Amino acid sequence: MKMKKRSFLAGTAMALGLAATGAWAQDDKVKVGFVYVGPINDGGWTQHHHESALKMVETIGADKVDMVYQENVAEGPDSERAMTQMALEGADLIFTTSFGYMDPTINVAAKFPNVKFEHATGYKTAPNVSAYSARFYEGRAVMGTIAGRMTKSNIIGYIASVPIPEVVRGINSSYIHAKKVNPDVQFKVIWLYTWMDPAKEADAARTLIEQGADVIFQHTDSTAPLAAARDAGNVIGFGQAGDMIEYAPSPRVSSIIDNWEPYYTSRVKAVMDGTWESHNVWEGINTGMVGIGEITSAVPAEVKAEAEALQASIESGEYHPFTGPLKKQDGSDWLAEGETADDGTLAGMNFYVEGIDAELPN
């Protein structure tokens, strides 16, 4: 086994030789690569990364940026190859836009020290690897407020995707803020173990509606839950990843929009200026990474005002969606009065807050 380790190191060294020829074979245009997990027209996660990337090119100028992308890249060794390929072909900066690309990104980055990498929604960094993510839970707080005010049955359905901290944070944040304005709310959560599957999403939405839910949250990317809500009538929901404005004014009463463009533009510019440095950032409503879609006329004016006030206070930094007193689901203390959650705990959140009557899959 010792032999193997040595040969692996030798392999890395060889790749470094390749890197030297690859990364510098470029003209004065900055070459930026994007690796996507889904097709660029999935209507959700990947599409918004791609649209943001295209806007970034528009903002900086197509004469200065050369953008390449690869869609439908499976997480694991295939993504490692896709990144290596971009690095070999002279990319200066590569955005890898799915959590499952984390270890592959770190692996490839080690072989190409002159190429910069940006990995979305992970936690590992290196001198040439940054991590970036959005505080979607801030948006969920605003949606939670609307949901708590709008529900008549006091049952709120939640279509959850994959049990990772981001999704758990979203459930907690929605619940805390719905409960704040309506102490009688109950959450029903269905886990789908997928980020996008219109058929399953529609089934889940119908099941939740049958169980009495009249507000549906979704952390999955298709519009199927909104379609199911419309068919049922008197059920509302929220756009996810995209605005999903085609379902406005109802069932879609607002939305959480992924907007990566400002970040992409600033990072590409940083590479052009030579000021790029590795960091681990988490941006929210304040930088525009988390956008809140227009709150429609289906929402009473005073509820809309209340939601917008919350949005403004989060944006200004005056209010943190996870502010104590808060207890964990098991009744143990988490945050004291006035205390706010630190990013470390939030990043790895794997518990529900008190009051959610569901079990986290484990």
Partner 1 sequence: MLTLEKRPQPSKALSYITPVLAVIVTMIAGGLLFAALGKDPVVAIRTIFWEPLFGEFASYYRPQLLVKGGPLILIALGLSLGFRAGIWNIGAEGQYIIGAICGAGVALAFYPLDAWYIFPLMVIAGALGGWAWAMIPAILKVKFGTNEILVSLMLVYVAEQLLASMALGLMKNPEGYGFPGSRNLQQYPAAFNGELIAGTGMHWGVAAAFIAAIFSYILLNRHILGFQIRLTGEAPRAAKFSGVKPARLVLICMGVAGALAGMAGMFEVAGPSGQITLSFNVGYGFTAIIVAFLGRLHPVGIILAGLLMALTYIGGDVAQSRLQLPAAAIQMVQGMLLFFLLAVDVLTNYRIKMTKREVA
Binding site for partner 1 (CB under 8 A): 1-2, 4-5, 7-8, 10-11, 14-15, 18, 22, 33, 39, 68-78, 80-82, 84-86, 88-89, 99-100, 103, 107, 122-123, 162-165, 168, 193, 347-350, 361-362
Report which secondary-structure segment, H or E, holds 105.
helix 102-111
CA–CA gap between residue 238 and residue 145 (Å, rounded): 12
Least distance from partner 1 to the Cβ atom of residue 149, Å: 31
Q: For residue 240, count CB atoms less than 10 angstroms from its CB and return exposed for 0-12, middle for 13-18, buried for 19 or more.
A: buried
Closest to partner 1 by CB, 2 vs 152, is: 2
Pairwise CA distance, residues 296 & 216, whole Å: 16
Pairwise CA distance, residues 138 & 307, whole Å: 12
Cα(94)–Cα(69) distance, integer angstroms: 9
82 vs 229 by CB, closer to partner 1:
82
Of 325 and 348, which CB lies nearer to partner 1 in the complex structure? 348
Nearer to partner 1, 162 or 232 (CB): 162
Given the DSSP bridges, would you call strands 116-120 and 129-134 parallel, antiparallel or unpaired? parallel
User: Are the C-beta atoms of 41 and 7 separated by less than 8 Å?
Assistant: no
CB of 21 to partner 1, least distance (A): 9
> 313 or 329, CB closer to partner 1?
329
| Beta carbon nearer to partner 1, 275 or 362 | 362
CB of 129 to partner 1, least distance (A): 15
Q: Confirm if 192 and 222 have CB atoms less than 8 A apart.
A: no
Find out whether 154 and 185 touch, Cβ atoms under 8 Å: yes
Residue 81 or 180: the one with the smaller Cβ distance to partner 1 is: 81
Shortest Cβ 10–partner 1 spacing (Å):
4
- In the complex, the smallest distance separating the C-beta of residue 110 from partner 1, rounded to whole angstroms, is 11
Token pair recorded at residue 14: 């060889």
Complex with partner 1: residue 122 or 144, whichever CB lies closer: 122
d(CA 155, CA 267): 42
Q: Residue 11 Cβ, how far from partner 1 at the closest point, in Å? A: 4
Query: String of b and e for 179-213 (b: at least 16 CB within 10 Å)?
Result: bebbeebbbbbbbbeebbbeebbbbbbbebbeeeb
CA distance linking residue 244 with residue 226, whole number of Å: 9
CB of 79 to partner 1, least distance (A): 10
**Nearest-approach distance from CB 181 to partner 1, in angstroms:** 29
For partner 1, the closer of residues 81 and 269 by Cβ is 81
* Cα separation, 351 vs 328, whole angstroms: 7
* Residue 165 Cβ vs partner 1, minimum distance, rounded to whole Å: 5
Nearest CA to 179 out of 360, 336, 325 is that of 325
